[in-house]
Amino acid sequence: MAPLQFAIIINGTQDISGVEQESICVRSVDADLQPKEEFLGIYQVSSTTGQNIAKMACDVMTRLQLPLSQLRGKNYDGAANMAGRLQGVQVILRKEQPLAVYCHCGPHCVNLITQAACGASPLVRDAMGLVHELGGFFNQSGKFKLIFQNIAKSEHGSTFTSLKPLCPTRWTVRTPAIRSVLKQYESVLMALEEMASCSSPETSAKANGLHGTFFKGNTVLGLLMAEDLMGDLECLNTSLQLRKQTVSGMLEAVDHVKTSIQVKRTEEHFDVLFSKATAVATKLDLQRIQIPHVRKPTKRYTGQAAAHIHPDAQSLYRVQFYNALDTVNTQFIERFEQAGFHKLQQLENVLLHGDMNKVVEEYPELNSRLLQVQLAMFGANYTYETSSDVASIIREMVPVVRGLFGQVEALVRLLLVVPASSAEAERSFSALRRLKTWLRSSMSQTRLNNVAICHVHQKKLDRLDLEGICQSFISANDKRKKAFGSFT
């Protein structure tokens, strides 16, 4: 039976054969007002234009008997073919169903924010590039890996961690790689120094170059700044990937992170980072933190005025740190000020404050007069602050009392059904990599889709009555009965 209201989640990737595959998931709210996201399948598209993907999505909904009239939400990334204002999927589907609120995937937004923030500080950008280069060198050279492991084990025992390159797309999983380098900084220097003296000329040159850059105190400061910048954003990204995360919860979490970022924009906070980096540089006898050489601009750009020069390294890198924090705040406003959120906020204001507006009239499942009466009755008997509180109260009601607030429940469902992220669709990509490999690259699309559904929904598959399925298959025609007999 099709859900009363539902939302779709779409994301795409290429399989091992280079074929474009689109993963589609559906989000609905069950009888206990619990959001659920289910994988529907992987579908091939001839091209990734907005028109083709929208046609494919409509075809899937039609074949699975999901009425377009009940579509209330859409979630995908911000690519032009998906979120474009003219030919994007969200525009094409909005023409078919104006009530389907589009939400740009929250974790994608956080990744873009982190990328912009790290680019705002050259020191942070360069330090992260060094971590990536070191991780690649660690993985590509078995000799260096063995040298580092022996040194790290002697220094840290069983608590040592491997060095890993940075993921090129998932920016907010980079903090563990940075912390691994900071925690084992001395072991990294010792391993690079030993590697530079006992390897081939090419490898020795690379190890010597890395040792020279990691021997600078500026690198330590850059890593500490990167760790401080990305820690809060990584927590936010992890929270937004939960299956039961709602848009209202996402916006509240964003407000918490924005407050945390603003608190860090103080001289005291940066001075602590700078002092920590100075202490590490002194302990390991590294080069002191210093101002890089700045080329003097020509007078045709500055005139007779003298170019501004920071008095010391601390003031220079404080400005870079502030630029990165300001970039985060600016990006939060740009990325999370989405048009669809305004409609949801208006609906939430109706629920929490009783502010009836024209948005209620747009939804056929809501009756404004009856909803106003039920909200007044609900507010007189219960205390709540968020839509999640209202859902918890309704969930604990006995059926007779719950029947009094049918319109309130319908409003809560509209707020819960819109997904905050496309993480559920991306999880299916891991299954795609396991199913369609180089050895199974010629698998047909129908088989791939069927196998993917069985693989993702393993628990549901285990609950099927296999004997009943076999008996139904055998009894379909006389030829099968003669071939297989009676399955008992």
285/280 Cα distance (integer angstroms): 8
pLDDT at 3: 53
Does residue 422 contact residue 9 with C-beta atoms inside 8 Å?
Answer: yes
Look up residue 245 and give its DSSP letter.
-
pLDDT at 158: 74
**Residue 25 parent element (H or E):** strand 20-29
**Helix, strand, coil fractions of the chain, as percent rounded to 5:** 65, 10, 25
The helix-helix angle for 217-240 and 247-263 (nearest 10°) equals 160
**Which residues neighbour 440 within 8 Å (Cβ) at sequence distance 6 or greater?**
none
Burial of residue 405, with CB atoms counted within 10 A of its CB: 0-12 exposed, 13-18 middle, 19 or more buried: buried
Does residue 53 contact residue 10 with C-beta atoms inside 8 Å?
Answer: yes
The per-residue b/e assignment along 371-395, b for 16 or more CB within 10 angstroms, e otherwise, is beebbeebeeeeeeebbbebbebbe
Q: Which residue has the tokens 């659920």?
A: 36
pLDDT at 211: 93
User: Which parts of the chain register pLDDT below 70?
Assistant: 1-3, 297, 301-302, 305-307, 487-488
What Rg do the C-alpha atoms of the chain give, in angstroms?
28
Residue 168 three-state SS: coil
Q: How many CB atoms lie within 10 A of CB 478?
A: 8
Which tokens sit at 274?
Answer: 């700078």
DSSP bridge partners of 440: none
pLDDT at 307: 66
Residue 9 three-state SS: strand
Q: Which residue has the tokens 């360069």?
A: 126
Q: CA quadruple 123, 127, 132, 136: dihedral positive or negative?
A: positive
Which tokens sit at 75?
Answer: 């979630």
153/391 Cα distance (integer angstroms): 51
Burial of residue 285, with CB atoms counted within 10 A of its CB: 0-12 exposed, 13-18 middle, 19 or more buried: exposed
pLDDT at 488: 61
Residue 440 three-state SS: helix
List C-alpha distances in Å: 27 to 38, 248, 427.
Answer: 6, 16, 15
Look up residue 172 and give its DSSP letter.
G
Q: How many CB atoms lie within 10 A of CB 364?
A: 9
pLDDT at 2: 42
Whether the full predicted model's pTM is greater than 0.75, yes or no, is: yes
Which tokens sit at 135?
Answer: 């991780």
Number of H helices and number of E strands within the chain?
A: 25, 5
pLDDT at 487: 63
DSSP bridge partners of 238: none
Query: What is the pairing mode between strands 71-76 and 101-104?
Result: parallel
Sheet holding 101-104, edge to edge: 35-44, 20-29, 6-14, 71-76, 101-104
Look up residue 403 and give its DSSP letter.
G
Domains of the chain: 1-105+422-456 (3.30.420.10), 111-336 (no CATH), 341-420 (no CATH)
